[in-house]
Amino acid sequence: MPRKRISGTVTGSTRTAVEVLLAEDVTELGKQGDIVRVKPGYARNYLLPQGFATVANEHNKRMVERHKQRLKDVEASRLRKLRELADAISKYSVTLEANANDEGHLYGSIGQSDISAALKAAGYEVLPEHVKLEGPLRELGMYTIQIQLHAKVQKEVKVWVVPAAAG
């Protein structure tokens, strides 16, 4: 009785290589979505049973390409929104009140979280780690601060540190 070949299985001798589609990142083999060539035994005995890979048939390849395109579209949309936010932030100037002595030295300092809080109060979603300071602000004056929302999106914002009103 002839053996029936099940579609989607890995067959071949030990001297050939088969293509598998990685379902997860595999160290020293590739990242999720990559199509790699491996020995049939490695695919059959390790990658497929553990769920690290699937057979690289045309349907699976098309599905991966669609998924990659969707991820690209989502990232492009996210970058566009971040650029719009960065443009709006660059047109805004932050004014922070602080207690200072007669020479203009602050009793304390202004850091990333203070600038972030002021931007959030103005309606801009900026996290403290997006504010790039070389060090805390310790004097009254006007500063130009880098805001980096993404590796590809950065703008400058003006920060005014003024003396607190006497109350």
What pLDDT, on a 0 to 100 scale, did the predictor assign at position 2? 52
Residue 75 phi/psi, 5-degree rounding, is: -65, -40
pLDDT at 67: 87
Q: In which element (H, E) is residue 58 found? A: helix 58-90
Query: For 91, phi and psi rounded to 5 degrees?
Result: -90, -5
pLDDT tens per residue across all 167 residues of the chain: 554 444 455 655 557 889 999 989 999 999 988 889 999 999 999 999 999 999 888 998 898 889 889 999 999 999 999 999 999 999 999 999 999 999 999 999 999 999 999 999 999 999 999 999 999 999 999 999 999 999 999 999 999 999 987 65
Domains contained in the chain, CATH given? 18-77 (3.40.5.10), 82-163 (3.10.430.100)
